[in-house]
Amino acid sequence: MKVNHRSNPGSSVRLPAAERARWVLSVWLPCLAYAIVRYNVYKGVEWTHLPLYIVNKSAAFAGVILVALAYLIGKWFGGPAGTEPVRARAKFLGLAGFAMVTVHVLMAMVLLSPASYEKFYEASGKLNLTGELTFLFGVLAYCCLLFPAISTLPYMYDALGMERWLKAQHMGYAALALACGHTLAMGSAGWADIASWPGSMPPITLLGFLAALAGLGGKLWVTRRHRR
């Protein structure tokens, strides 16, 4: 690992490129494979829609997992919290998750139409309540993610001071809570209808919800442990 001299926590070490690639690929490729098998293979979505519609699902899924992992490392796995290698990994996972979610948002913007997402629209072509709530939570979640992402820029720790820097980092928890709202609003209607799951595979909305919940669960677990 290279040593840098910037004071942001986690910035004194730079993860090797091979490790960074390993993290991203080991999360994203299984998400892509899951989306292809569930939607193209079992649900019969045409292969024409693999490049954007299906890849978008995999980016959203991988993004929320990476962000959740950023907040779980040092709590549930990866070694003791607060050490520079763990902070460096948390920083990398968070930024990789943010990048994936940004790809998801851009792809969703391109796809957004009643033809791609019928369940978000009324017959008039306007958004229905599901669509309104889904996008409200999605946009707010993305706004919250901007805080930890921006505060990892070089020298932000010096500029903000420890307290404000930590508050900015903790906005990721709000993003995870809002991501729960985003996936719940769009998907919960189909979660209990197991018979309708293509190939008996749980919906990505449900798995994304659980990933975000796990990220929040890590925080709850640590807070309780400190109180004891």
Considering the rule CB under 6 A, would residue 105 count as an interface residue with ligand HEM?
yes
Considering the rule CB under 6 A, would residue 117 count as an interface residue with ligand HEM?
yes
CA distance 151 to 159: 9
CA distance 190 to 206: 9
DSSP per-residue letters across 110-139: HH-STTT-GGGB-TTSSB-HHHHHHHHHHH
Q: Which helix (H) or strand (E) holds 109?
A: helix 84-111
Considering the rule CB under 6 A, would residue 208 count as an interface residue with ligand HEM?
yes
Considering the rule CB under 6 A, would residue 151 count as an interface residue with ligand HEM?
no
Considering the rule CB under 6 A, would residue 62 count as an interface residue with ligand HEM?
no
Considering the rule CB under 6 A, would residue 182 count as an interface residue with ligand HEM?
yes
State the Rg of the chain over Cα.
19
Considering the rule CB under 6 A, would residue 204 count as an interface residue with ligand HEM?
yes
CA distance 32 to 201: 14
Nearer to ligand HEM, 70 or 88 (CB): 70
Considering the rule CB under 6 A, would residue 93 count as an interface residue with ligand HEM?
no
Q: Pick from 8, 11, 169, 205 the residue near ligand HEM by CB under 6 A.
A: 205
DSSP-derived 3-state class of residue 3: strand
Considering the rule CB under 6 A, would residue 215 count as an interface residue with ligand HEM?
no
DSSP-derived 3-state class of residue 44: coil
Query: Would you tell me which residues interact with ligand HEM (CB under 6 A)?
Result: 56-57, 60-61, 63-64, 67, 101, 104-105, 108, 117, 135, 138-139, 141-142, 145, 175, 179, 182-183, 186, 203-205, 208
